[in-house]
Amino acid sequence: MHKEIVKQLFKFKKVPVSLERVICAAICTAFPIILGFLLNRPKYGMWASIGGFTYMYVANEPYAQRIKKMFLVAIAITFCSTLGLVLSDHPWFAILVVGIIGSVSTFIFGILSIRGPAALFFIMTFTMTIGIKMDSSSIPIFALYVLAGSLFSWLVSMVGYFRNPHGPEIKRVNKLYSNLFQFANSIGKTDLTRVKSNVVNSLKDTEEILTTGYVKWKISPVFNRLYLLNEYANKMFLKMLELDENNKLPDEIIFIIEELQKQIDLQSDKKVVIKNIDKGVYPEYDKLLEIIYDIESIMNIPLEYIGNSIEITKPSLPMIIRKSIDKNSIVFRNSLRYGVILMVSAFVAYKLDIPKTYWIVLSCASVMYGSTIMTTFHRSIQRSIGTIFGVGVAMCIGYLNPQSYFIAVFNMILTILTEFLIAKNYALATIFFTPNAILIAEASSNAYTTANLASARMINIVIGSAIGLIGTYLIGRKSASSRLNGLMVKTLHGQAKMIFALGKSGEEKNINILKQKIEIDFDNFNLAYNTALGEIPNDEKKLEMMWPIVYGLERINYLLAQCSASEEKINISNKQLEYIVFVYESMANNIELGTKMDYREIEISNGIESLCKEINSLQEYIFRINN
């Protein structure tokens, strides 16, 4: 157990690193410094370099989303750093504000599933500037330079758009077809539970990236082709779900699916060519082959002939917020916890007479970035070890006494190393992040020597990490586990309502709203489950038995979403519909009351065979864990 924890702490993950991202991050932080020295205004260059932290929020999202997200991040970085200056003489307000910044940004990033460092760099820029004493007349000038640096990072983040406007979406569609091939190749060979879940997750991710990348007023033939490929990927998966899981697909069909997956290259004019299998050779697979050849046609049709009538409905933001402000919402509770512990760390930092106490708050925020007590523990250890070595690197750089352009050179080198290592191993990244932060702090102020800054940072890191770790343990160690049943019940009730709406005439107007609700309910349940896995202590046996339930609910969500997009919806008798809803309500009541449940098999109905099978499987999983 202890060896495994140590192994996880120092594991070097095999994560691909984007060279473009590494170089752009270095440019965003170093270019303002270089420009400042060129114009003989080094102080202004250092101020503008704060805006370089904006680039840290770049993820693999569509450019249509990135342009809005990064602009808002640029404004937020400017606002937080300026607010820190304004509140530098009002510590009690600053303590309250740091908690609000932490809570609000964590909540927004959580409910919108935005990838990135969430509150971390907002808190960094706010706390860094609290310690700077500046004349009130200089604050607007400071804000303008930070804004200029932030907007520069915003522009740099959009450079890839001019080379490949739909790069992130294309990458996701390629991955989707790769997962579909793996699923086809696994039928009749291995247990399909995990492979199915991989495809469902991939379909969900692809739909999400296409939804966020959709621009109503802009007609893009490439995007429309991607949308059609996603639509037919769903059809292909649904058709494969209807096949007998015990019978292996013919090698000839597996081969053409593999060829299709290999040849999907939306950046090439080369035609996709796959082997033609005559109708009737494999009668039970004729419909699947028809879908495969439709996909081939979509890939080969000239862009000018792709239709422009695509319309995507996006989830309502007010509804997402309303559904997430709930006592059982893990995102909501984590956001509150994050803010409260940050305020405690800010209070401790204010009371301690140590130089550069903002590192206490920043370290606390950083170690709490993990969603569970185990990830928080890992981060605190990694950050502490990395800082010790990082301080040594900072001392070496300090002895060299870099001036003017050499500060920018060291800044670029350290930023490149940090970006390269941050996803692979946090401890190694901290070794280079630490001297970089000390370098900027020393270049901005002559109040402390390198030795003073290094020793102060080491002490503050330990204090901040300890506060984050203890706070997470006391407040959140069993938060998710205690809510799993309630969130599961909520998801079951939502799916029952969705099934009723899909099968009952006159309920069509509620379908889109219910679809969004069950997605939010499941996301809350899934997040709670993943969080519970890392809690101390946890019921490992129960969580292991619950895993098939999580993925069963996810697959049912997917099938219901596909039914809602179909014109036929659920075409069964009222008696059968009411029985399915009754089965759902029985499962929910048994879980809520903790009573034994009876297994009630649902008859397989034409048109919804996969859905009926999944509901029966879900009953079996819940029956095992509840009886």
pLDDT band (50, 70, 90) for residue 444:
low
pTM for this predicted structure: 0.84
The set of residues, in sequence order, having a beta carbon less than 8 Å from that of 136 and lying 6+ positions away, is none
Cα 60 vs. chain centroid, distance in angstroms?
10
| CA 345/CA 467 separation, integer angstroms | 6
| CA 254/CA 248 separation, integer angstroms | 10
> Which has more confidence, 529 or 78?
78
Q: What is the pLDDT of residue 547?
A: 85
Mean pLDDT of 295-322: 77
Both tokens of 209, joined, read 């990236």
Q: Are 420 and 22 in contact (CB under 8 A)?
A: yes
Selection from 141-150, 287-296, 363-372, 504-513 with the highest mean pLDDT: 141-150
| CA 585/CA 588 separation, integer angstroms | 5
* Cα distances (angstroms) measured from residue 348 to each of 183, 248, 461: 53, 63, 13
pLDDT in tens, 29-79: 889 989 998 999 988 998 998 899 899 899 889 999 999 999 999 999 999
Query: Whole-number mean pLDDT of the chain?
Result: 83
pLDDT band (50, 70, 90) for residue 4:
low
pLDDT in tens, 172-207: 999 999 999 999 988 888 777 788 888 988 988 898
Q: What is the pLDDT of residue 200?
A: 87
Instruction: Indicate if the pLDDT at residue 430 is higher than 60.
Output: yes
| CB neighbour burial string for 469-504, b if at least 16 within 10 angstroms, e if fewer | bebbeebbbebbbebbbbbbbbbbbbbbbbbbbbbb
pLDDT band (50, 70, 90) for residue 348:
very high
Instruction: Indicate if the pLDDT at residue 587 is higher than 80.
Output: yes
Q: What is the pLDDT of residue 48?
A: 92
pLDDT band (50, 70, 90) for residue 451:
low
Q: How far apart are the first and last CA of the chain?
A: 31
3-state SS record for 34-58: HHHHHCCCHHHHHHHHHHHHHHHHC
